[in-house]
Structure 1
């Protein structure tokens, strides 16, 4: 029967050795939430295994009883350390205050006291029986009332912690495939089987410490996700590794927990130095724009000194429980496409620039004909020249728009920031569009508070922005419609974040959700016959971007459109600095000018 003694001893020693290894690795992974508490849990299990082994191999009954009492020192630490690990790991630190620790340790400390003083009250065990099996002897204790309370607390705390781990939204749990999840579930159930076998008399040896040691191995394998045991799903996924696009998986703390092999080219660093790093340490630009990363293009500088452009897309990564517990970033290389676009833009710019001179000369000749050389011509000839002049002027404006957009995108048009009176600017724009508004019986309504501060912008660029928006509103407004232009001061938490919002509202056909998403892109036009060349609103967006400002639209089909853009205030000036000039006390006849004006309320 010596082999039996050797087998049992070897089994317990092996479990203790592995438990020590897991405890050391958990301690070395202290940045992982709960790893320190897990180390205490594993060391407690290790002590329990070793002490129980010493209890088995001891020949003297008094020695066995001493080891039996000593093992409760380890047993008492297991529920509290397991709860601490589970609460840390699942980000429930509010349950780890000193007040809660007192509650967690009340039953374990009481158990230790009752074990030491059991002879006087027999609350932990009532009777001790010695059982001999071959060369081994065991002690079988008849449990008392407090024994059941202690076991209920031990397994109750273990159940609560296990439930928190299984429902955690951390990536280590989320990345498990169903088979791995089943292994984790079985591992967490092992202590229940070990305890049940012993309590029900199905096993003479108490398998509970062994089952806790095996449970520690499973928890170390999956929730703590030790690197020496880990094989990342993406690293071994042939489909993802065959992609040219880089793929990153990040947890809720923006720590990179997984990546495919293509990310080594994107990040310009080896795979081992990507995993476990903060996203901000590798891609700070991505972190700064993370909230807008549903679909965003970023320029990333590479170590070789050239720039590669990536389209970065962010999406939720669902686990086997359908929980969105982590997120995936896909880096699609747009460098080659950007180079082709740059060549195309350069060619277009050259062609348009070459067209500008002959068209300008033609326009000058037509203007001379229109102003002085057609006095003796008939009405049809004059109308033909006028029509030719207007269309040539439109072509020249189109060419100027294309050239200006290119210059703005390349930063070749300097933005000269000055104090701009929005009252005067809106007045000029609306007055310039009065003839077109008259033709459609459109009424302008202007609402700008007299106390509104001036804006800090390039006056010429912003005037062109407003002209383009008002021009579009007139174009799509119905006959007899109303176009309202407003400007309001939007307060921020500090003066540097305060903005003026200018809004133009019309009563046109409105925009579809798809059109709203692309309305500011170059060469994008609507399906209506009034649609232009798709450059006016693109110019507005680029011009405002040069001011570090934004433009947006709110619209639904059949409900008109509301175009708004923001403007900054002059730097380091109070709210009432540079008030708008008082409106002139004049009025315009509605029937002749289609303008409404009230001296008491500055509205057109």
Structure 2
């Protein structure tokens, strides 16, 4: 068989090889979205190109006309395959579109029937002829042509509708595609545009050759580059719309320079300010604690951080899962940060911590109660039982008086236990309280014997009046019960800083050391002191512990109650030596005990 060799033929052969390769490769990736219809489309393009090449190279007019007719078989399946690709690639492939494609398939089948029977009815085109075509700079060549009739025109309109519908879907997707998919979008746009340009040039007779199949070959190459170089069909942009954009969690895509290059709607709502786009901003401008979103790329693919920041004036907590974004050559090009709101979880954890702390305090009080009941109450009860046996034998009045004293001591212990069982103070009961009045009221209800009280302060404090009174009662009781002789008790305004080595209640904070913080001398406060025998320095760190007692008549709970009441008010209590004399000296024989309360 004699053939005409022409440079245009070489271009067609190359195009056949390329389109066939694209068809095979797309078929191999057919689980990916759009791969199967793309393979079918490229089969149609390959068929079109093969018979077009045979048409150009044939020397017999009859063969040219035969090959020209057979090109129709490939051409009729391209529009439907194009629409199917667009529907699947953009995520619109559902049962309704499948039924629609099944109906539309009837048109290509009808076109093939008309092709076989065209000589009988000439509905597709009239009498075919051979014409000479001259390409710029190349030798003339001959191709078959014919005037289109109604069938060909109808098919052309049908094809344009399908091609236009698929093109609109793809362009619409590109307009919605965010910055992460710009490269993929470029190749899709290139593949979309070229067939239209080639077909319009042929329609306007700018060129006598219809270059549409060559343009579709370039379309296949463009999609192939996207398919293998940029994983176009493995991670289609529609996956973003279906998954990322609908997440309740905020998503930020951050490049190596720390710029936000992509977000989803949840992130826009979370970090957006007045409609300002987040894309292009540095992550420092978007998120507090941003340095924790830019860890060194140390080979760890995923990591999770917990961060917190204010959202609409409310503190919110987030678990941020970070995944590395890897480029085509395996290099890290950025990170994807997903913000999951764990504020409710944190609040529950804090509530649980508070409940555990309260349970610990309750257990501590139960331990204290058990200790007092098992030891301190048992002692006077045993004494009372002993004196009762003596009273039964002797009937002496002093024996009954000893029993009464033991019962009074047990009543005293029970009262202190009830006080300790209550919270240190009720915040709802806080009010402005005149300290002198409370100090004198407490003195009036304590059995102080011949001891005296001197109140040298007129300050007003914010406190629970009842608990403050209990604080003074226990301090007075402590002063009287721990001294064999009457004592002079003085209540005054605190006006000096605490010195190192002073005993502090367990709740007192001695750790600040910040020079900008006000010293104790700058804070209002008060003291309660006596001129008794004082508290040994070795015991000052333990006087506020439950069970401490320096006297047989003491319950060992009083100063523990003092510390709890002070702590509930947010005060610091400390104990030190001595009653300050007017001349600045202290009597070594009666150094006294001084309790100082600093109001924070």
TM-score by length of 2: 0.42
TM-score by length of 1: 0.42
